[in-house]
Chain A
Amino acid sequence: MAVLSRSTVLLRIFLVLLMPLISLSGLPSASAQASREYALKAVFLLNFTRFVEWPASAFPQTNSPIVIGVLGSDPFGRALDDVVKGEVVEGHPVIVERYQSTAELKPCQILFISMSEQSRWPEVRDALKGQPVLTVSEMENFARVGGMIRLYKSSQNKIRLRVNLDAVKAEHLKISSKLLNVSEVVELEVP
C-alpha cells in the first residue's frame, strides 16, 4: 500500500497515541494485584462470622455488633469497610475497628493481626487470653504459636486457611465442621 489516505494516517496516529493508555488499563499493576488479594481476604474475614460461633458472653446484648478489629498497619484499605457494610449476622451488625497498638485494643470478636505486629504477637496473645476473640493473621507459623487461623498461599497461589483447633477450643469458640473441611487443621503435640 503505497499511498495512504489522509484519514487512515490520522487514525493510525490516533491509535499510536492511545496505545499506552490501553496497555496501562489492560495489565493489572502490582498494587492492584495486592488490593485484589486483600479484598478476597476481607471477604474471608467476614465469612468467619458465619462459620464461627461465639459464646453468649461475647456479646453484651443480643443485637451487639460483631467487631472485626485490625491491629497494626491496615493492609485492607477501604476493602474491608466495603465488604462489611450493611452486613448483619444472626442479628449482629458487623463493624470494623482499627487499633494502632496493643494498648488501644478494645473488646472485639475477630482480630486481624497485621504483619507489622509480628514481633509483638506474644504480648497480644497474652493480652487476649481468656477472651473469646478469633485471632487471624498472615504471620508465618501463626497457628503454631498460639494464633487461631492463619491465612497463607497454597502452591497453586490460592489463599488457604490453617486452623489451630486447640487455641480455638481454649477460648470456647466453635468452628463449623464445614469450615474445617476446607481448612488445614494443625495438630499440636500436647505440651
Chain B
Amino acid sequence: MTESSIRRQLLAAMLIVSSSVLLLTGIVLISYEFTTYRATTARHLAGLAQTVASYSTAALAYQDEKGAHEILSGFRSEPDIVVACLYNQSGKPFATYQPGKASEPFPPKPGPDGFRFSRTELVLFEPVIQGNARMGTLFVRQNLSSMYSRMSMYGLFVLFVLALSVTVAFLLSRFFELKIAGPILSLAQTARRISEHKDFSIRAQKAGGPELGLLTQAFNQMLSEIQTRQQQLLSELSARERAELALRASEEELRFVTDHASVVILHCDRELRLKFVNRPYAARFGMTPEAVLGKRIPEVVGTAAFDSFKVYIERALAGESLMFEVKIPYETLGERWMLCALTPEQSRNGVVPGFVAVVQDVTDRHEMQEALRESEERFRLLADNILQLAWIADKDGFITWYNQRWYEYTGTTLAQMLGRGWEQVQHPDHLARVRQKFDDALKRGLVWEDTFPLLGKNGEYRWFLSRALPVRDEHGEIVRWFGTNTDITELRQAEEALRQAHYRLQTTLDGMNDAFVIYSRDWKFLVVNPAATRMWNEPAEALLGQSLWEKFPELIATKLHPKFVQSMEQRAPTTFQFHHPGVDRWFEHQCYPIEEGLAVFTADITARKNAQQILERTVDERTAELRETVGELEAFSYSISHDMRAPLRAITSYSEALVEDFGNQLPPAAKSHLSSISSAAVRLDQLITDVLAYSRVSRAERELEPLEIEPLIRELAEQYPSLQSPRAEIRFQNPLPTVLGHRASLAQCLSNLLTNAAKFVQPGVKPVISIRAEPAPAPAQNPGQKSPDRFVRIWIEDNGIGIPAKDLDRIFRIFERVHPQQVYEGTGIGLAIVKKAMERMGGQVGVESTVGQGSRFWIELKKA
C-alpha cells in the first residue's frame, strides 16, 4: 500500500459520500417541486377556467360574441395562457382569446373534458354548464415555460452546492491523511523492509492513537513469534527428511513388487476411492496408476461391471475376508471371469476403513471348462441324433452308455442294459456266435464287426451292421470301446429286390431273338446276350472287353460307323436299317444312349426287306398300266369334244340362216324357238371349248419358260373388250416379276381370272381390277420340291360381288357354279382349268373374299 493510494482512497470516499448525498437530495427536491408545481398549476388553471366558463353561459345562450370576448379577456391576469376558445353547443368555435401577437392555434373542435400535460403546455377543456344544461366548452392552453425555467434554476443551485462540497472534501482529506494514514504508512514500510531482507529482528515504532498503538504492539509480538518458530522448524526439518526418504524407498520397493505381479492389487477406502493400485490394474483400463488414484471404483470399471461385484465389496466392508470368482461385464474389456480376494482393513471403532483386493483374470480357464462342457454336450447331441444306435463300453466290454436311439428302438432302460444287458435283445439263433466274436475282439483289441438281428420294442427283429472301435490312451492302452449298430434291414431288402430284377433282366435278354449289346463309351462290349453272340458269330468271352471297331475293323468303312458314333456322341436315340455286305443280310439297329455308353438292339430284317421290294415292283408296274389307260382316255375325250364342234357349228349357222332368210315368214314363236336353239348350241360349243381347254392343260407336260406377266396381261386385255376402258379398269399396283410357266396355260389362267373379275360385279358397277405381286408365304407348299425354290404370289383383286365363305372350297371344282346361269353366264369350268393349269406348272391358286366387297384371287409360281 503506497502513500498516495491511501490518500486517494480517503479523498474518494469523502467525495463519493458528499456528492451522492447532495445529488440524491437535489433529485428528490426537484422531483417533488416539479410534481407539486404541476398540480398547483393545473388546479389554478382549472379554477380560473371554471369561473370563466360559468360567466360565459349567458353569452353562449344568447350568442353574444362581444360579451363572450369580454369574459374571455379575464384570462389576461395569467400571462402564461396563450390561447383560449369558447365553443358553442354544437362544438363550433364561438369566441377566442389570443393575447400574443402571433395567433396561437386552437383545436377546431372541443376534445374530451379535463386537462392534459404535454411537454411544454397544459391544455384544458372545461364544460360550460348553466343549471344542468351544457351550453358549450371552454378551451385553454397554458405555456409551461415559466415552470421549466424555475426547475432549471433549482438544478443550477444543486450543481453549485456540489462543486462547493467537493472542494471542502478535498481540503479535509489532506487533514485526515496526516492523522490516520501516517502511522499506517510507517507500519507498512516496516513490513516491507522485513519481507525484503527476511530479517525478523526489525521492530515497528509506536505512533498515533491507542488503536494504532495496539496494532503496532501486536505486529511486533507476531514478529518475535515467527522468529522463534523459524528456528524450531529448521531443527525439525532434518529429522523428518530422513524418515521420509526411508519411507519413500520402502514404497518404491512395494510398488516395484506389485507392479510386476501378475495379479491386480488395489486398496480403497469406504467411499470406494482408490488409495493404491498396481500398474497392471491401471493398465487393464489403459491408464497409469497416477491417473486412477483418487477415483471411485465405479468410475474406473463402469457401473455395470461394478454392480456385478458390489455385493462382495459390501461384505468386505462389513469385515469379512472373501475369495470368490465372478463374471464381470467390463465396458472396455467385455465379460471377464475374475478370481478375487478381498481383505478388509482392521476396523477402527467397529468401522472398516477400507479393503485390499487381489484380483486375477481367470477367463481363459473358464473358457476352457466351458469349451469342454460344450464339446461334451455336442457329443451327446450328435450321438443322440445320429441314425445309428451307439454305445460306449469300458475296456472289459462293460457297456456304460447307450444313445437315445438305442432306447427308442429297443424300448429298454440303462438299468436293464448296463454291462451285458444287450444279450436280452439278441436273437437266440445268433446269440452264441455274436457273444463269441465280441469276446474275441475284446481280447485281441481289434475292430469288432458283425451283422445280426436285434429285437425292437414292437416285437420285431431288424438287421443291424454293428461295429466297435477301441479308444486308446497315450500309452496305447485301451480305455474304452465305442460302438454303433446300423439298421441294414432296408438295405438287405433292396439288395434282394435288385437281385431279382437282375435275374429277370438276364432271363429276358437270354430269351430274346434280337441281339442286345451295350457298348462302353470307348466302344468296348460290356453286355452281350446270346442272340448277339449268334449274330457276331463269336462266343461272349471273345467279345466282352474288346473294342467293336478293333474287333470288326471292316465296319468302319460302312454306314454303321457314322450312325453309331452320332448316336453315342449326341446322346440321341436312333433307328436305322443297314445291309451288312459281308453276310448279305439286312439289319435294323435301335440305338439308345445310356449312362455307361450305348445300348443297341439289332433285329435281322432280311426277310421283311425282301417282301417289301417285291411289293414295290408290283406297284410300279400297275401305275404304268394305269397311266397308259388314262392317256388313252384323255385322247379319246379330246377327239370326241373336237369332233362334236363341227355339227354344233352347223346347227348354229343353219338356225341363223333360217332366221335371216325366212324371218318374215316365220311366226314369232318359231323365231323364239330358233333363237333358243342357237343360244343352246353356242353354249354347248363354249362348254366343249372349255372341256377341251381343261383336258389340254391336264395333259400338258411341257417345259417351263421364263414369262413376264405384265405384257401378258396387257395382251389379254386387248383381246377382251370387257377388260378395256371404259368398261373396266386394270391397275398394276407394283412391278410384276418374271415367273416360270407355260405361256398358253398361264394366258388361259389369267384370262379366266380377269374375265371373272370383270364379270361378277353388281349391275352398273364399273369393274376395277388391281394386280400386285408379293413373295409367297414362308412354307412353300410344294411337297415334291426338294430345294426350296422362291415362289411369288400374284394377287388379282376385284370390286365385285364376292363369294360366300361356304362356297370358297367349291369354286375350283369342275362344273361347280355359285350363281345360276341366268344371272351370270358361264360353264363352271374356268376356275377348274386355272387350278389344273397351276398344278401342272408346279404352282397354286387360292382365293379370299368378302361378300359385297370383292374377291382376291392369287396364283403362286416359281420366280424365274
Contacts and interface: CB of A to CB of B under 8 A. Distances in A.
Interface residues of B, number: 14
Interface in B63-105: 63-64, 67
Interface string B129-157: 01111000000000000000000000000
A40 B63 CA distance: 10
Interface stretch (A22-30, A95-103, A134-142, A174-182): A174-182
Contacts of B57: 50-51, 178
B131 A178 contact: no
Contacts of A88: 132
B131 A161 contact: no
B131 A90 contact: yes
Interface in A73-109: 88-90
Contacts of B61: 44, 47, 50-51, 179, 182
B58 A179 contact: yes
A178 B62 CA distance: 10
Contacts of B133: 50, 89
Given A51-B58, A176-B58, A182 B131 contact: no
Interface residues of A, number: 18
A183 interface: yes
A90 B846 CA distance: 133
Contact of A183 (B55, B62, B63, B130): B62
Nearest to B61: A47
B71 to A, nearest CB: 8
A48 B132 CA distance: 14
Contact of A161 (B55, B62, B130, B132): B62
B59 interface: yes
Interface string A151-168: 000000011110000000
A179 B56 CA distance: 10
Contacts of B54: 178
B66 to A, nearest CB: 9
A183 B66 CA distance: 11
Contacts of A179: 58, 61-62
Contact of A158 (B55, B59, B63): B63
Contacts of B59: 178, 181-182
Given A47-B62, A51-B58, A176-B58, A182 B67 contact: yes
A178 B132 contact: no
A179 B54 CA distance: 12
A50 B131 contact: yes
Contacts of A50: 57, 61, 130-131, 133
B62 A44 contact: yes
A132 to B, nearest CB: 18
Nearest to B58: A178
Interface string B529-541: 0000000000000
B73 to A, nearest CB: 13
A50 B57 CA distance: 10
Contacts of A178: 54-55, 57-59, 130
Nearest to A51: B58
Contacts of B58: 51, 176, 178-179, 181-182
A188 B132 CA distance: 34
Contacts of A47: 61-62, 130
A89 B62 contact: no
B67 A51 contact: no
B608 to A, nearest CB: 123
A109 B807 CA distance: 136
Interface in B15-73: 54-55, 57-59, 61-64, 67
A3 to B, nearest CB: 48
Interface string B396-424: 00000000000000000000000000000
B369 to A, nearest CB: 116
A30 B63 CA distance: 22
A176 B67 CA distance: 15
A144 B59 CA distance: 24
Contacts of A176: 58
B127 to A, nearest CB: 15
A88 to B, nearest CB: 8
A158 B66 CA distance: 12
Nearest to A178: B58
Nearest to A158: B63
Nearest to A161: B62
Given A178-B57, A181-B67, A182-B67, A90 B132 contact: yes
A159 B59 CA distance: 12
Nearest to B54: A178
B95 to A, nearest CB: 12
A44 B135 CA distance: 12
Contact of A89 (B63, B67, B131): B131
Contacts of A51: 57-58, 61, 130
Contacts of B130: 47, 50-51, 178
13 contacts: A47-B130, A50-B130, A89-B131, A90-B131, A90-B132, A158-B63, A159-B62, A176-B58, A178-B57, A178-B58, A178-B59, A181-B59, A182-B64
Given A51-B130, A159-B63, A182-B62, 17 more contacts: A44-B61, A47-B130, A50-B131, A50-B133, A88-B132, A90-B131, A160-B62, A178-B54, A178-B57, A178-B130, A181-B58, A181-B64, A181-B67, A182-B58, A182-B59, A182-B61, A182-B64
